[in-house]
Amino acid sequence: MRYFARGVSYLLHPLCIPVYFLLFIFQGDTVFALIPKNIQYYCYAVVVFTLLIMPLVSLPVFRHFHLIRNYKLEEKQERVYPILIAVGFAFLGFWLLRGVSHTQIVQQLYLILVILLSLFSIVTLRWKMSMHMTAIGGLCGFMLSIGMHYPGQLRGIFMIVLLLSGLLGVCRLYLKKHTPAQVYAGFLFGFGFITGILL
């Protein structure tokens, strides 16, 4: 069971959530699936580079300079540096997409991520909230908001992501990475923030 819980935590890691977002909107039954494939591939490349690869590459640098003790980031203060780097790379991703046609939804993702991560880092200075649950809560919020504002059918995907959110929360609790309050607060923070802005 522990291996299963860890596997779920890795598959639904916060760094992977923006990639899943693109997969859902580009491959699902949405108006964004009509965006030309070359632009979709460019969006994938930018998101993978700025929100997955570069934050991962920065972790050994933080460890080398003793800003973090290990890659688990169990102490709430250790999470601030990776979050700030993610904010910086989110700005870079937004800049790389500027002027590219049909990328407004991805640019919107970047801007909201900058605000969400900035607020999360402020909360993290005082209290350890689940970053996993914040990320998947934000994904649920995006799916709900897009489903309500744009043509297409996202109900099935939204229900799957909601079920995965519950599974992830159970796994984080099983692994004793968070308390129930930290799990619930993380999900509600991500979901409430995204829907509050987009709905």
- 84-95: per-residue pLDDT in tens? 899 999 999 999
| Complete DSSP assignment for the chain | -HHHHHHHHHHT-TTTHHHHHHHHHHHSEEGGGGS-HHHHHHHHHHHHIIIIIHHHHHHHHHHHTTS-SSTT--SGGGGHHHHHHHHHHHHHHHHHHTT-TT-HHHHHHHHHHHHHHHHHHHHHHH----HHHHHHHHHHHHHHHHHHHSSEE-HHHHHHHHHHHHHHHHHHHHTTSS-HHHHHHHHHHHHHHHHHHH-
Residue 133 reports pLDDT greater than 80: yes
pLDDT at 94: 93
Largest CA distance in the chain: 49
pLDDT at 149: 86
Residue 36 reports pLDDT greater than 90: yes
**Mean pLDDT value across residues 104-119:** 91
pLDDT at 180: 95
Residue 160 reports pLDDT greater than 80: yes
Going from N- to C-terminal start, the domains of the chain cover 2-198
**Mean pLDDT value across residues 165-180:** 95
| Most confident residue range from 5-14, 74-83, 144-153 | 5-14
Residue 18 reports pLDDT greater than 90: yes
Q: Tens of pLDDT along 96-108?
A: 998 898 889 899 8
Residue 29, strand partner residues: 153
Q: Which of 22-36, 71-85, 88-102, 111-125 has the lowest mean pLDDT?
A: 71-85
Q: Taking the model in full, what pTM does it have?
A: 0.90
